[in-house]
Amino acid sequence: MNIYKCLNEITKYIDDNLEEDISYDVLAKYLGVNVYTMQRLFTMLAGLSVSEYIRKRRLSNAGFDLYEGNGKIIDIALKYRYDNATSFSRAFLKFHGIKPSLVNKETKLKNFPRIIFNEDIIQASELDYEVVTLNEMDLYGVGKKTNNMKIGEDAPLFFKETEAKYLDKYGAIKYGLITYDIEREESQKYYCMYDQPIKTFEHIKIPASKWLKFSIPSQNPKEIQEISHRFYEEFLPSTKYNLKELPELEYYHDNMTDFLVAIY
């Protein structure tokens, strides 16, 4: 399966249905995975969530319609699936920097084009893995809000700061944990976690599950990030695994890192 060809089919389907309710179930079928896995893949490879992509394409087209005088504001709002003119005007202002009521032939508007992926990208490198079953885990730690664009810098810095602060008291950090909110990427968080109860820390229970495990002979942040990128860009698109709505885990031990992703 060429993941980028499938993603192009998804963005074409979205463009063909901007004036309709867009079914995430249909989008997931293009990739042969469940909805959650489709959302994670799209976000990682496109750089923004499915909902954000749809929103930007609709507002881009709405700007063109207003510029060309193709209807009243309320009609265009309803056309692009907004419930009322107020919510549409608020979103339009945030995207274009101008109220829809002020759009005229002199207005400069934003254009957000359809994303078209390069289908010629080669995905042929090997990536060793295991499927393991882990019992329920109780983890305790502290987190930092981040997003897909910033996590590469945020996570190593936060890890370093947290370990320096708590090493003498609680020992080495055992786990890194990444939570995802597909619809609101700014809510994504990176945690430094311990497997011992610490009253002042946030408690996160990880249910028993099957996991894909990728062993990294290092705890170097760049090497961990490289495996994460390869997982989404090369490994996952070429398999039929469906992801569970659980955090990603990084288990630090013996100068190694186990990169763990929950699956069905």
Q: What is the CATH number of the domain that holds 96?
A: 1.10.10.60
The answer to whether residues 153 and 214 belong to one domain is yes
CA distance 170 to 194: 8
Helix or strand or coil: residue 191? strand
Residues 27 and 74 in one domain: yes
- pLDDT at site 103: 93
Dihedral of CA 130/235/57/108: which sign? positive
> For the range 156-161, what are the long-range contacts, defined as Cβ-Cβ under 8 Å and sequence gap of 24 or more?
156/221, 158/190, 158/192, 159/192, 159/221
Candidates 228, 237, 226, 230; CA nearest to 4 is 237
CATH code of residue 240:
3.20.80.10
115 in a structural domain:
no
CB 27 within 8 A of CB 6: no
Same domain, 250 and 184: yes
Residue 147 lies in a domain: yes
Question: How many distinct structural domains can be found in the chain?
Answer: 2
Phi, psi of 34, deg, nearest 5: -80, 170
Which tokens belong to 233? 């860009």
In whole angstroms, what is the distance from residue 127 CA to residue 194 CA?
28
The answer on 200 and 85 residing in a single domain is no
Q: Determine the pLDDT at residue 184.
A: 60
User: In Å, what is the CA distance from 46 to each residue of 21, 38, 59, 79, 188?
Assistant: 21, 12, 18, 25, 17
Say if 121 falls within a structural domain.
Answer: no
Radius of gyration of the chain (CA): 22
Same domain (yes/no): 40, 149: no
State the residue range of the domain holding 83: 3-102
Q: What pLDDT score does 182 carry?
A: 65
Asked if pLDDT for residue 186 goes beyond 60, the answer is no
In a domain, 108, yes or no: no
Do 91 and 186 share a structural domain?
A: no
Return the higher-pLDDT residue of 181 and 185: 181
* pLDDT band with cut points at 50, 70 and 90 for residue 239: confident
Tokens, residue 135: 């019992």
pLDDT reading at 16 higher than 90: yes
| Residue 117 within a domain | no
Q: Is pLDDT above 90 for 260?
A: yes
Diameter of the chain measured on Cα atoms: 67
The rounded percent of the chain whose pLDDT value lies above 70 is 96
| pLDDT the model gives residue 120 | 82
In three-state secondary structure terms, 8 is helix
- Does a structural domain hold residue 27? yes
Residues 177, 240: contact at Cβ < 8 Å?
A: no
Q: What is the pLDDT of residues 52-85, one digit of tens each?
A: 999 999 999 999 999 998 889 999 999 999 999 9
Say if 122 falls within a structural domain. no
Is 123 part of any domain? no
Shared-domain flag, residues 193 and 253 = yes
165 and 205 inside one domain: yes
Q: Which of 141-145, 151-155, 259-263 has the lowest mean pLDDT?
A: 151-155
71-126 pLDDT, tens digit each: 899 999 999 999 999 999 999 999 999 999 999 988 899 999 999 999 887 665 67
- Does the pLDDT value for residue 181 go beyond 60? yes
Q: How many Å apart are CA 105 and CA 169, to the nearest integer?
A: 65
Task: Give yes or no: residues 11 and 64 share one domain.
Answer: yes
Q: What pLDDT, on a 0 to 100 scale, did the predictor assign at position 201?
A: 97
Does residue 251 sit in the same domain as residue 135? yes
Sequential DSSP letters for 66-105: HHTT-S-HHHHHHHTT-SSHHHHHHHHHHHHSS-GGG--T
Look at residue 208 in the predicted model and tell me its pLDDT.
97
In this structure, of 56-60, 148-152, 199-203, the range with the lowest mean pLDDT score is 148-152
161 and 245 share one domain: yes
Strands (E), 91-206: 130-134, 137-145, 175-179, 189-194, 202-206
Do 157 and 62 share a structural domain? no
User: According to the model, what pLDDT value does residue 3 have?
Assistant: 86
